[in-house]
Structure 1
Amino acid sequence: MQVVGVTTQQEVYVVSRERKFRINEILVIEDPALNHPRGEVVETLSYNRLIPMGLDRSLVDTQVIRSLEQIGYDIGSDELNLAKLRLFSEAPHPVRTGCPVREPRFDEVRGLLVKTTPAEGMVLGEIRGTEALADTLDEDLRDQVHIVEDGAMRPQSGVPFLFDIRAMQQYPHIGIFGGSGSGKSFGLRVMLEELMKLGIPTVVFDPHFEMDFSETVPELEAYAPDFTNRWVAVQIGQHVGIDFSSLSTRDLQGLLGAAGGSVTESMVNVVQMLHRKKDSFRTFSDRLNNVAQALEEGKQGLERRLHGGDIDPVEAEKLKDLLTLYQQYNSLPLSSLKGVQWRLNRLEKAGLFQQDIRPIERALEQGRLVVVQGSAWLLQVFATYVIGALYRKRREYKDARMNGEDGRFFPPFLIVTDEAHNFAPKGVDSPAKAILKEIAQEGRKYGVFLVFATQRPTLLDETITAQLNTKFVFRTVRGTDIATLREETDLTPEEGKRLPYLRSGDTFVSSAVFGRTVFMRVRAAYTRSPHVTNPFEELQSIRQEQDENVLNVLLARLPLFDTDLLDAVTHVNRECGLRWDVPRLKQELDRLAAEGRIAKKESPLATRYDAVR
């Protein structure tokens, strides 16, 4: 291998007759004047005499071809392997043409590829193009990952990709981007497994109910850590909720806005006038309902009822209280009161005020991962409150320490969410957006970090996107999303062209920690998603199971005539838990007969179904 053609301080061309170049592999240029610079293959191709050169559109220009001919390469008959090599560090002057090029030893490039140790970092996958370094790899980096490729699992064959979680103090926040089927959710699962291994407190908002870590992949049982006591799943309304008495007036306004769109100024005025510190849900709800009733009946209606005849003392006292409320709050619009009532009732019916967030706080203090599950809109409402509450606890502790006071310790933690563009959309207000933007800009000082995954980076708030110092970019097809990622990362034009064609699980990692883009493949996850079953296989399995159950019930009653189907369908429904009618049973019997699983004999008087003999 040697350098050919015109060179610059950033890029050179390398040629070889015997060796084919691998994309993203690292090579060393033996130029003593530049202290043997290292570079990465960013583009490669092969020429041979059976393929027209097409010099005007090829990887190299006519000057490179001319230099190849001058140093002895026969363009017409030799197979030539060419590569564009991009230097990791800009050289003070161009590389000398003709310099030999060789594969490096691992110790020569460890600083470029590995920033931490497997014990202290997140072992996320294998760096592509590093297979040639396997023989010289340090012992502590061997056998760290397993890779799923072409439907089969293989052992590690290159350098493992280790992400230094401690570097987030300087380069905070992570973005995970990729289209449907790109491996984005799989990569997020692997990242959460590594956070559990390291015992880092994490809150995950899971709108798809897929972040379950209880089932281990059978092939990896010998290698998988025991995650049993490292994570907990909680459902909003069942295990966790909001302690209404702890809400400030501002918190309540945010929740009502999340429950049903934007809150008008008059609704804000209603909440500010009626909400009291330490109100329970019942006291605030009763006050709201009483004021609404007083405004509906009006002063004349209440006085008419009060003086209109015999009423018991309890009823009279209630009417007097309503008159007092009317005189105090008659300036409030009834429509705004009704709007607040509707939003409050919607949150209460969802079970939001039946629990508190202490299970989440307790799990974070134990260094566990908490998966918060619920419907999409309920997650957004709950996230508005819980993120702010947890962030305040951490901030109050750090501020107290800065002032020399003894605050109650609350650990640093990560906030992780899939479908992040729903929580912090660009150009549109959302319940959790304000607190997430604050954390994106200031959370690093307090040890609170974001991990955002989304299929549509273009729809994510630009302020937050700009603060994501590490971005995992999986296969992306949409031109607008690719353009956004090109603007927000250091992806080269060549890498941008590759984005629509990446295999599922392959990803570019653009990270300030590495100072460059690294191409890697995500390792095999230790655990399995509950949604991993192919839906078409599921359909076939359910059908087969249903057929077997129905056949087992019918076999005891065969032979069966079509005049007996009413009694038979009642028996089948009872035994198999079905809701068939007679026409449906006849259709199923005809299908089973067509498949040869039962026998069907027709006569002028009746149709007979019998067992196959």
Structure 2
Amino acid sequence: MQVVGVTTQQEVYVASKERKFRINEILVIEDAALEYPKGEVVETLSYNRLIPMGLDKSLVDTQVIQSLEHIGYDIGSDEINLAKIRLFAEAPHPVKTGCGVRLPRFEEVRRLLVKTTPQSGMVLGEIKGTEALGDGLDEDLKGQVHLMENGELRPQRGVPFLFDITAMQQYPHIGIFGGSGSGKSFGLRVMLEELMKLSIPTLVFDPHFEMDFSEGMPELQGVSPTFDNRWLSVQVGKEVGIRFTDLSTRDVVGLIGAAGGALSESMVNVVQSLHKRRDSYTSFSDRLNNVAQAIEEGTSGLKKRLREDDLTPTEAERIKDLMELHQQYGSLPLASVRGVQWRLNRLDKAGLFQQDIRPIEQGLEQGKLVVIQGAAWVLQVFSTYVIGSLYRKRREYKDARMNGEEGTFFPPFVTVTDEAHNFAPKGVDSPPKMILKEIAQEGRKYGAFLVLATQRPTLLDETITAQLNTKFVFRTVRGTDIATLREETDLTQEESKRLPYLQSGDTFVSSAVYGRTIFVRIRASYTYSPHVANPFDELKAVLQERDSRVLDVIGERLPVFDTDLLEVVTHLNRECALNWDVNRLKGELDRWAAEGKIAKKESPFVTRYDKVDG
């Protein structure tokens, strides 16, 4: 292997007759004057005498061909392998043309590829293009991961990709981007498993009910760690909720706004006027309902009711209270009061005010991963409150320590969410967006970090996207999203062209920790999602199970005549919990007959369904 063509301080071309180059592999250029610079293969091709047309527009140009001929390559008959190498560090002057190129030893590139140990870092996968270094790995780096390729599990061959979680203190926040089926959610699961292994307190918002870690991969049994007692799953409205008495007026405005779109100024004024410090849900709701009734009936209507003869003392007292409320709050628009009422009732029906967040706080204090599940709109409302509450606890502790006070310890934590563009959309205000933006900009100082995953990076708030110092970019097809990722990462033009064609589970990792983009294959996860089953396999299994159950019941009554189907379908519905009618039963019997599961015998007068002979 040797350098050919015109060289620069950033890029060189390398040719070889014997060896084909691998994309993303690392090579050492034997230029002593530059102290043997290292580079990565970013583009490669092979050609021979059946050379295609248009060479001037490809990797091979006239200068490269002339260089090859000068050093003894037979352009007409030799197969020539070419690679474009991008140097890791810009050279002070161009690389010497004609100098040799070789594969590195692992100790020469360890500093470029490995930033931590498997015990201290997140073991996320294998760096692609490093297979040639596999034999020279240190013992503690061998056998760290298994990878799933083409439906089969294979052992590690190259250098494991270890993400240094402690570096987030300097380069905070992680973004995970990729289209549907790209492996984005799979990569997020692997990252959460590693956070659990390291006992890092983690808060996960799961709108898809898929973050379950109880089922392990059978193929990795005995290899994978156990996650028992390392994670906790809670559902909003059941195990966790919001203690209304803890809410400030500002919090109530945010929650009610999240329940049904942005509040108008008059609706904000309604909340600010009616909410009192330490209000319970019942006291605030009753006050809201009473004010609405007072405004609706008006002073004249209330006075008219007060003059009624059959009025009890209790009713008279209530009317006087309503008149007092009308005098105090009668200027509030009734439509705005009703709008606040509707939103508050919606939150209450979702069970939001029936519990508190103590289970979440305890889980984080124990170093667990806490999965919060619920409908998407409920999670958006709840996340506003819970992230803000936990961030304030962490911030108050750190501020107290800075002032020389003791303070109540609350651990640093990571907040994780999929579909992040719904929580922090670009160009649209949303309650979670404000607290997420604050953490993105200031959370590093207090030990609060973000891991945000989305299929549409273009739709994610730009301020937040810019603060994500590490980005995992999986297969992405949309041109607008690719353009956004080009702006926000150091992806080269060649890497951007590869994005639509990446295999599921392959990702470019653009990280300030490494100072460059690394191509990684995410490891096989130790656990699997409850939604991982193919829906068509599920459909087939359910239908087979139902057919088997129904045939067992109907087999006891065979032979069956089409004149008896009403009695048979009544018996089937009762025994098998079905809701069939006669036409449905006849259609199923005909299908089973066509499949050879039962016999169908027709005569001019009646059709008989019977067991298959033999």
Scaled to the shorter chain, the TM-score interval is over 0.9
List per-residue Cα deviations over 1:300-359 (Å, max 9, x = no partner): 111111122122111111111111111111111111110000000000001000011111
Instruction: For 1:588 and 1:412, locate their aligned partners in 2 and report how far apart those are by CA, in whole Å.
Output: 60
- Aligned residue type for 2:499: L
Q: Tell me which residue corresponds to 2:313.
A: 313
List per-residue Cα deviations over 1:175-220 (Å, max 9, x = no partner): 0000000000000000000000000000011111111100000001
Q: Secondary structure at the match of 1:215?
A: coil
Instruction: For 1:308 and 1:546, locate their aligned partners in 2 and report how far apart those are by CA, in whole Å.
Output: 67
Pairwise CA distance, 1:52: 2.8
List per-residue Cα deviations over 1:87-107 (Å, max 9, x = no partner): 101111111111111000100
Q: Tell me which residue corresponds to 1:180.
A: 180
Matched, 1:437 2:437: yes
Q: Secondary structure at the match of 1:260?
A: coil
Q: Tell me which residue corresponds to 1:369.
A: 369
List per-residue Cα deviations over 1:349-382 (Å, max 9, x = no partner): 0100001111100000000001111111111011
List per-residue Cα deviations over 1:436-478 (Å, max 9, x = no partner): 1000000000000000000000000000000000000000000
CA contact (8 A) 1:47 1:53 kept: no
Q: Secondary structure at the match of 1:487?
A: helix
- Aligned residue type for 2:322: L
Q: Tell me which residue corresponds to 2:565.
A: 565
Instruction: For 1:84 and 1:311, locate their aligned partners in 2 and report how far apart those are by CA, in whole Å.
Output: 94
Matched, 1:295 2:299: no
- Aligned residue type for 1:521: R
Q: Tell me which residue corresponds to 2:457.
A: 457
Q: Tell me which residue corresponds to 2:606.
A: 606
Q: Secondary structure at the match of 1:450?
A: strand
CA contact (8 A) 1:122 1:191 kept: yes
Instruction: For 2:301 and 2:428, locate their aligned partners in 1 and report how far apart those are by CA, in whole Å.
Output: 44
Q: Tell me which residue corresponds to 1:325.
A: 325
- Aligned residue type for 1:295: I
Q: Secondary structure at the match of 2:86?
A: strand
CA RMSD of aligned residues (A): 0.7
Q: Tell me which residue corresponds to 1:166.
A: 166
Instruction: For 2:53 and 2:302, locate their aligned partners in 1 and report how far apart those are by CA, in whole Å.
Output: 95
**Is there any run of 5+ residues in structure 2 with no aligned partner, and where?**
none
Q: Tell me which residue corresponds to 1:272.
A: 272
- Aligned residue type for 2:48: N
Pairwise CA distance, 1:60: 2.6
Q: Tell me which residue corresponds to 1:230.
A: 230
Q: Secondary structure at the match of 1:18?
A: coil
Q: Tell me which residue corresponds to 1:30.
A: 30
Instruction: For 1:604 and 1:479, locate their aligned partners in 2 and report how far apart those are by CA, in whole Å.
Output: 66
Q: Tell me which residue corresponds to 1:250.
A: 250
5 Å-filtered alignment, 1:123-272, equals 123-272=123-272
5 Å-filtered alignment, 1:356-395, equals 356-395=356-395
Q: Tell me which residue corresponds to 2:56.
A: 56
Q: Tell me which residue corresponds to 1:21.
A: 21
- Aligned residue type for 1:602: E
CA contact (8 A) 1:394 1:411 kept: yes
Q: Tell me which residue corresponds to 1:348.
A: 348
Q: TM-score, with normalisation over the residues of structure 2?
A: 0.99
Instruction: For 2:367 and 2:58, locate their aligned partners in 1 and report how far apart those are by CA, in whole Å.
Output: 54
Q: Secondary structure at the match of 1:303?
A: helix
Instruction: For 1:497 and 1:137, locate their aligned partners in 2 and report how far apart those are by CA, in whole Å.
Output: 32
Instruction: For 1:401 and 1:147, locate their aligned partners in 2 and report how far apart those are by CA, in whole Å.
Output: 44
Pairwise CA distance, 1:54: 3.0
**Is there any run of 5+ residues in structure 1 with no aligned partner, and where?**
none
Instruction: For 1:102 and 1:352, locate their aligned partners in 2 and report how far apart those are by CA, in whole Å.
Output: 63
Q: Tell me which residue corresponds to 2:577.
A: 577
Q: Secondary structure at the match of 2:213?
A: coil
- Aligned residue type for 2:178: G
- Aligned residue type for 1:479: G
Instruction: For 1:280 and 1:58, locate their aligned partners in 2 and report how far apart those are by CA, in whole Å.
Output: 71
Q: Tell me which residue corresponds to 2:421.
A: 421
Instruction: For 1:194 and 1:71, locate their aligned partners in 2 and report how far apart those are by CA, in whole Å.
Output: 51
Instruction: For 1:55 and 1:304, locate their aligned partners in 2 and report how far apart those are by CA, in whole Å.
Output: 95
Q: Tell me which residue corresponds to 2:72.
A: 72
- Aligned residue type for 2:431: P
Q: Tell me which residue corresponds to 1:108.
A: 108
- Aligned residue type for 1:503: Q
Which 4+ residue blocks in structure 1 deviate beyond 6 angstroms? Answer: none
Pairwise CA distance, 1:598: 0.2
- Aligned residue type for 1:537: D
- Aligned residue type for 1:558: L
- Aligned residue type for 1:249: T
- Aligned residue type for 2:540: Q
Instruction: For 1:317 and 1:537, locate their aligned partners in 2 and report how far apart those are by CA, in whole Å.
Output: 67
Q: Percent identity?
A: 78
Instruction: For 1:53 and 1:339, locate their aligned partners in 2 and report how far apart those are by CA, in whole Å.
Output: 69
5 Å-filtered alignment, 1:486-565, equals 486-565=486-565
Instruction: For 2:386 and 2:61, locate their aligned partners in 1 and report how far apart those are by CA, in whole Å.
Output: 59
Q: Tell me which residue corresponds to 2:468.
A: 468
Further displaced range: 561-570 or 171-180: 561-570
Instruction: For 1:181 and 1:310, locate their aligned partners in 2 and report how far apart those are by CA, in whole Å.
Output: 71
Pairwise CA distance, 1:602: 1.1
List per-residue Cα deviations over 1:227-286 (Å, max 9, x = no partner): 010001111001111000000000000001100111011111111111011100000001
Instruction: For 1:603 and 1:310, locate their aligned partners in 2 and report how far apart those are by CA, in whole Å.
Output: 81
Q: Secondary structure at the match of 2:431?
A: coil
Q: TM-score, with normalisation over the residues of structure 1?
A: 0.99
List per-residue Cα deviations over 1:61-116 (Å, max 9, x = no partner): 21111011011000100000000011101111111111111000100000000000
Pairwise CA distance, 1:294: 0.9
Pairwise CA distance, 1:434: 0.7
Instruction: For 2:573 and 2:411, locate their aligned partners in 1 and report how far apart those are by CA, in whole Å.
Output: 56
Instruction: For 2:576 and 2:504, locate their aligned partners in 1 and report how far apart those are by CA, in whole Å.
Output: 41
- Aligned residue type for 1:367: G
Pairwise CA distance, 1:53: 5.4
Q: Tell me which residue corresponds to 1:94.
A: 94
Instruction: For 2:60 and 2:414, locate their aligned partners in 1 and report how far apart those are by CA, in whole Å.
Output: 47
Pairwise CA distance, 1:574: 1.3
Pairwise CA distance, 1:147: 0.5
Instruction: For 1:305 and 1:88, locate their aligned partners in 2 and report how far apart those are by CA, in whole Å.
Output: 85
Q: Secondary structure at the match of 1:125?
A: strand
Q: Secondary structure at the match of 2:182?
A: coil
Instruction: For 1:111 and 1:255, locate their aligned partners in 2 and report how far apart those are by CA, in whole Å.
Output: 48
Instruction: For 2:332 and 2:426, locate their aligned partners in 1 and report how far apart those are by CA, in whole Å.
Output: 34
Pairwise CA distance, 1:297: 1.0
Instruction: For 1:310 and 1:524, locate their aligned partners in 2 and report how far apart those are by CA, in whole Å.
Output: 77
Residues 408, 247 of structure 1: alpha-carbon distance in 2 compared, 3 angstrom cutoff: same
Q: Secondary structure at the match of 1:132?
A: helix
Pairwise CA distance, 1:603: 1.4
Q: Secondary structure at the match of 1:15?
A: strand
- Aligned residue type for 1:144: Q
Q: Tell me which residue corresponds to 2:7.
A: 7
Aligned residues: 613
List per-residue Cα deviations over 1:96-153 (Å, max 9, x = no partner): 1111110001000000000000000000000000000011101010000000011110
Q: Secondary structure at the match of 1:494?
A: helix
Pairwise CA distance, 1:579: 0.6
- Aligned residue type for 1:444: R
Further displaced range: 56-65 or 385-394: 56-65
